[in-house]
Amino acid sequence: MRKRLKEVIVVEGRDDTTRLQEIFEVDTIETNGSAVNERTMQRIEKALERRGVIVFTDPDYPGDRIRARINERVPGCKHAYLPREAAKDKRGKIGVEHASPAAIEQALAAVYEIGEERQPEVTREMILAADLIGGPAASARRKRLGEILAIGQPNAKQLVKRVDAIRITKAEWEAALAQLEEEI
């Protein structure tokens, strides 16, 4: 059984997320490169407040730049480092996605906490009932709700994951929906 990590892990891209999820039960925030945008920074801030954050970027110049930008804007994040040699593939490309499970486990072992098994407070059924998936106005409603909750502009599948990853409470959900309804 995979370990459930309490903290949210900040990685550079989707391949890094896929690799980590092969090893752990984990939520990630992807920076999608070194130009970390404002929405992503807000998501990192919110995740730090609620669960803690571990920055786990590639051991190269762009990865270091991302780390520095996050550290400047969101101090208090934990940092895990992968040795450069452990992150190389056969062609010499460097990235978290190329590291072995053992190397990733070792890099994160000093900083992660094991999370408890829990049920999310906001369920998929609640999201469906709020007309955020599948209706004609669902996309616009999701976009505005994402702004209210500071979780970015998720698509339907991402909304479910982000609300759970940030641990949005039922009370926060209801308040955000009330604000959304008031604005419409």
What is the pTM assigned to this prediction? Answer: 0.79
Q: Quote the mean pLDDT of the chain.
A: 91
pLDDT band at 18 (very low <50, low <70, confident <90, very high): very high
Q: Which fold has domain 3-109?
A: Dna Topoisomerase Vi A Subunit; Chain: A, domain 2 (3.40.1360)
Lowest-confidence segment of 62-66, 89-93, 155-159 by average pLDDT: 155-159
DSSP the chain: -PEEBSSEEEESSHHHHHHHHHHEE--EEE--SSS--HHHHHHHHHHHHHT-EEE---SSHHHHHHHHHHHHHSTT-EE----GGGGB-TTS-B-GGGS-HHHHHHHHHTT--BPPP---SS-HHHHHHTT-SSSTTHHHHHHHHHHHHTS----HHHHHHHHHHTT--HHHHHHHHHHHHHH-
Q: What pLDDT is stored for residue 50 in this prediction?
A: 93
Beta strands 24-25; 3-4: pairing state: parallel
Over pLDDT 90: what percentage of the chain? 68
Ramachandran bin of 6, using left for φ above 0, alpha for ψ from -120 to 50, beta for the remaining angles: alpha
pLDDT for residue 160 is more than 80? yes
Mean pLDDT of 132-157: 87
Mean pLDDT of 82-110: 93
Per-residue pLDDT of 33-73, as tens digits, reads 888 999 999 999 999 999 999 999 999 999 999 999 999 99
Please report, for the chain, the start and end positions of each structural domain, with discontinuous segments joined by +. Answer: 3-109, 124-183
pLDDT band at 75 (very low <50, low <70, confident <90, very high): very high
